[in-house]
Structure 1
């Protein structure tokens, strides 16, 4: 088909370099439907059906090389005695995908199980309990998965230095007794809630090394993180504590083209001042029966294209340089 200027549309004639499935915030639990603290309906049992339909769809796409789960596979309201069973049930569904599945840890995961259990169940290559890693699906691209709860009051032992560091941050930044409450907090300070976290110094150094190496190899990079990294794409209460430090590292280089996240259930898309796309994926948990929120991403040399199902919006992300 010819375009209006007589040229064949690039999207029609060009095959993607690689493609992968995406889904965020399944938050399954075998409990009756409920609501968020803002009153948004949540469909705990239906969410695993969304995942099942996602995998069925992905398996019909022969070109998908892998899939990425953006965290929170079970909900915090899952009865604690059922947590391990619920996590395994969701992982069994992911295992029916015809390819590798890459996971990241979310706050609801940490409400249910200890970090050490999760890294083992998710098969995350972990050193000293960390959950950040990278891989290269094709020579010209690298996927970087950040550990958004590296510094966190969740998941680490109570006396762990990273737990103590997180509690110190919360005590300094959040005046409320309930550290998940932003009451009275203004602007960007609203991000200092216990259900968020931070990327620690060692991980920041690792990220810098990865991006330096990617630059030397002339690779483009897609950064994946459970918590969003840009205040323009998410409610401020769902922002990484030290998003600014992470983006400072990213801005040292020109290789990062997109940052993908979950956590903020309504989703969103923005382009920052450096031309980097930030896309938050809509939550599977908040799909009523008959609706879905999953998709796949086609990756090209000059753009990535998110193709979503009804509640996950299609998004074309064209690179500026």
Structure 2
């Protein structure tokens, strides 16, 4: 009998490879609270979601790696506890029987400088950048973007990319509180301090990586903490220069799926180039006993996201 969350089309077929996914754990040793929209947040329970995810992944016994889409610690974590809390969460991930690839989110940057995070999370990128790529098997490539490369968070105020970020926020958001979208309309509501952008240098890097993948006949999955398309996300959670990133992605035919976190309720759309955009549901908003994690089965012509509980399962068929 086929499980309810597995597509009939792939029953009996073995995936080329599989990997675990989780996002927005945002653990903190503080009482439960709520978001600015009044949505409950379960800071203590989120680490239990992670533990159940890792046990499930290990029991699966066929996952090549796991992807953490960022925000393993919450911004409300007392700053005196930031370093030990991040180290604790990294140790939790180390219980997985395989490599874990991390992304940096805004809540990570509220707690620690990005250079420190890059080291703690073992991100394989030079200096304090956090974008990288790897091939889990011939014919496929995972590209991880740094959605806070241009950001008001995580670097000294006089860093060139910090200055670019503040200039953009001053131009686009007239509010004194740069995390407030008050008065902003439509997609302009993305210009908030808890979002970020991709630098010109990273765009050039992405173009080169995707160009080589196209020449080599690879299929690419692009991952980023921040969503890359307005069709799958609220405007308030969107990458500042998502359009620049999409222009590079659509320049090449190799990208099949983009996966993100950040917008906790999740989402999905297919863009004008036939690329799927999937935002994963957050572990933080799971009440005690509930879960939000999953794993991804990759086939030649599709991926299957097999979610647990609050993470929706979904089949994403590649456009030829």
The verdict on a shared fold, with TM-score over 0.5 as the criterion, is yes
Aligned residue pairs, count: 315
Whole-Å separation in 2 of the counterparts to 1:59 and 1:263: 25
Q: For structure 2, which runs of at least 5 residues remain unmatched after alignment? A: 3-7
Q: Alpha-carbon deviation of 1:13?
A: 2.5
TM-score norm. by structure 2 comes to 0.97
Aligned pairs (5 A) from 1:1-321: 10-321=9-320
Deviations 1:266-294 (A, max 9, x none): 00111111111100000000000010000
Alignment partner, residue 5 of structure 1: none
In 2, the alpha carbon distance for the partners of 1:84 and 1:290 equals 28
- With structure 1 as the length reference, what TM-score do the two structures score? 0.97
CA–CA separation in structure 2 for the residues paired with 1:94 and 1:59 = 11
Q: In structure 2, what is the Cα distance between the partners aligned to 1:200 and 1:85?
A: 30
Gaps of 5+ in 1: 3-8
Alpha-carbon shift at residue 10 of structure 1 (Å): 4.2
In the TM superposition, residue 128 of structure 1 has moved relative to its aligned partner by 3.1
Encode CA deviations 1:53-112: one digit per residue, 9 max, x unaligned.
Answer: 000000001110000000000000000000111111111110000000000100000000
RMSD after superposition = 1.0
Query: What is the rounded CA distance, in whole Å, between the counterparts of 2:46 and 2:68 in structure 1?
Result: 13
CA distance in 2, matches of 1:42, 1:148: 23
Counterpart position of 1:6: none
Output the CA distance in 2 between the equivalents of 1:186 and 1:143.
34
Moved over 4 A (4+): none
DSSP 3-state at the match of 1:189: helix
How many Å separate the matches in 2 of 1:188 and 1:171? 16
